[in-house]
Amino acid sequence: MNRHSPKTAALLAYDADLLSPAGAARIARHLAGCEACRAELAAIRAYETLRREASAQRWREPDWAAMEARLRREAREVAGAVRRERAGARHALWGGFAAAAAVLALVTGGALWPAEAAPTERPDAAALAAAREGAPREARVMLVAGHATADERPLTLDATVREGALVATFPRSTVHLRLADGTGFLLGDETRVTLARSRERATQLTLEQGRVTSRVAPLDAGARYEVRAGDWVFTVRGTRFAVAHLAGGVVTLSVADGTVDVRDAEGTVTSVTGPGRWNSSPDTVAVHPSVLVAPVGLDAKARDWPALRVPRLEGLRGLEIDGLALPIAGTIAMRASPGTHRGVSFALSGAPTRFEFEVSPEGSSLDPTLAGAPEPDAAPSHGVLAPSAVRAVVARGMDGLQRCYRTALLRRPDLTGQMTLRAWVAPSGRVTRATLSATTPLPWLSTCVENQARRWSFPPPGGVESLALDVPLDFASD
């Protein structure tokens, strides 16, 4: 059996007729006996066809008008800042800036965050009572990755979430729910949603915090699907959209297709047509949620599919199954069609491992070694950093953070607030990722602070996974 690696350059030259007659004849003789080279040559030709088709491909034009409206605010802000700077305006630059470092408890069992971390408060009794009005409504859990609860009881695959229940997802977790009418919605991590149904035949999700992405099945006349977030109600009858309820009460909307009506507390309605975005705080450029739409299987056909279970994967950064990226902080359970599926796992270094696996009609469990997960013995626990070492590094990084804040004050002299900087420290001591716990009126400030934190270097904590730290920050000017 001929298993040698095809010589791509020679095949390209042969296909382009660049070889001498003798050289071309040699390649032709070789091709006659080499299946791998014939396959490669066919792929080379197929790619040329695909390349030509893709180059001539026409793309959808963005909604320029909507984009212009949003960019106008940004242009006004930047142009104003430039003019003020040129005019030599002086602002109170720096008052107090205090920061203290705190070490997050080390993760047990391999997850970055402790599984016991509970969501914050429950909804008040009045909200729950209101949610229970109207006819009963239920949703079925079609996917749960990590940890999620309904009324503080853990959610499992196929569990039923009844009307009025508060569904909460934990850090690095996600859950997908499906209504009887085929509508599906995906909750991002650290999200809190109450499912309800109003007297007016409207399915209602009350989004207290976090992100919910919905694909709404076409509804009967008179039926509606609503997401409530803060003072706003988002109403549709069939579309794909995502709503995020951010810290500070800012609510943002992304619409992939269809139209979403946004109703404020006074009853004023604004229509947002996809692709489009909306922001409850027009003076800021807020973070909009991505419209992540569940594949058809999760919404419509998956009800009777077998269960696929994925154990907690140690020593990996990420996992995709059939193109679906899933958090791996905990176990995963989902419905999957019987047959062959493809997966990609990502090592801590980012290197991908592609694999295939079978889901039997009776259900299957993914073999972690197939996904390239290190053997349990080869995956030691996380390393350790002494609090004094953390404080020393953070103290040295204060200058950079202060520069960020001083620059931000040039644009927003009234900018103050408290937030938490979360940093992931690799076994080498390098900060691989840093995020702020809340959005700021100036996204630039978040980027600046996060970039500064990524420059920090700690003593190597050891272990195989990143260590998470929380650093409380207090932005204040006198």
Using CB under 8 A, which residues numbered 33 to 52 contact another protein? 35-36, 38-47, 49-51
Q: How far is the CB of 395 from another protein (least distance, A)?
A: 28
Minimum distance, C-beta of residue 252 to another protein, in the bound complex (Å)? 11
CB of 307 to another protein, least distance (A): 18
Which residue, 85 or 264, is less far from another protein as judged by CB? 85
Query: Within positions 177 to 196, which residues make up the interface with another protein, using CB under 8 A?
Result: 186, 188-189
Query: What's the closest the beta carbon of residue 355 comes to another protein, in angstroms?
Result: 10
Is residue 71 within the footprint of another protein (CB under 8 A)?
A: yes
223 binds another protein (CB under 8 A): no
Q: Which of residues 261-300 bind another protein (CB under 8 A)?
A: 275, 277, 285, 288, 290-295, 298
Does residue 2 interact with another protein by CB under 8 A?
A: no
Q: How far apart are CA 309 and CA 81, in angstroms?
A: 53
**318 lines the binding site for another protein (CB under 8 A):** yes
Give min distance, CB of 91 to another protein, in A.
17
Closest to another protein by CB, 233 vs 305, is 305
Asked if 301 is part of the footprint of another protein (rule: CB under 8 A), the reply reads no
Restricted to residues 382-421, the positions that interact with another protein (CB under 8 A) are none
Q: Between 44 and 476, whose beta carbon lies closer to another protein?
A: 44
Size of the site for another protein (CB under 8 A): 87
Query: Which of 83, 396, 403, 455 is in the footprint of another protein by CB under 8 A?
Result: 83
Regarding 111 and contact with another protein (CB under 8 A), the answer is no
By CB under 8 A, name the one of 102, 106, 127, 256 that touches another protein.
Answer: 256
* Residue 70 in contact with another protein, rule: CB under 8 A: yes
> Cβ 407 to another protein, closest distance in Å?
11
Candidates 192-200, 224-232, 344-352, 449-457; binding stretch for another protein (CB under 8 A): 344-352
Q: Which of 25, 74, 218, 283 binds another protein (CB under 8 A)?
A: 74
56 binds another protein (CB under 8 A): yes
One residue of 132, 300, 402, 444 binding another protein per CB under 8 A = 444
For the chain, what is the HEC assignment?
A: CCCCCCCHHHHHHHHCCCCCHHHHHHHHHHHHHCHHHHHHHHHHHHHHHHHHHHHCCCCCCCCHHHHHHHHHHHHHHHHHHHHHHHCCCCCCCCCCEEECCECCCCCCCCCCCCCCCCCCCCCCHHHHHHHCCCCCCEEEEEEEECCEEECCEECCCCCEEECCCEEEECCCCEEEEEECCCCEEEECCCCEEEEEECCCCEEEEEEEEEEEEEECCCCCCCCEEEEEECCEEEEECCCEEEEEECHHHCEEEEEEECEEEEECCCCCEEEEECCEEEECCCCCCCCCCCCCCCCHHHHHHHHHCCEEEECCCCCEEEEEECCEEECCCCCEEEECCCEEEEEEEEECCCCEEEEEEEECCCCEECCCCCCCCCCHHHCCCCCCCCHHHHHHHHHHHHHHHHHHHHHHHHHCCCCCEEEEEEEEECCCCEEEEEEECCCCCCHHHHHHHHHHHHCCECCCCCCCCCEEEEEEEEECCC
CB of 267 to another protein, least distance (A): 29
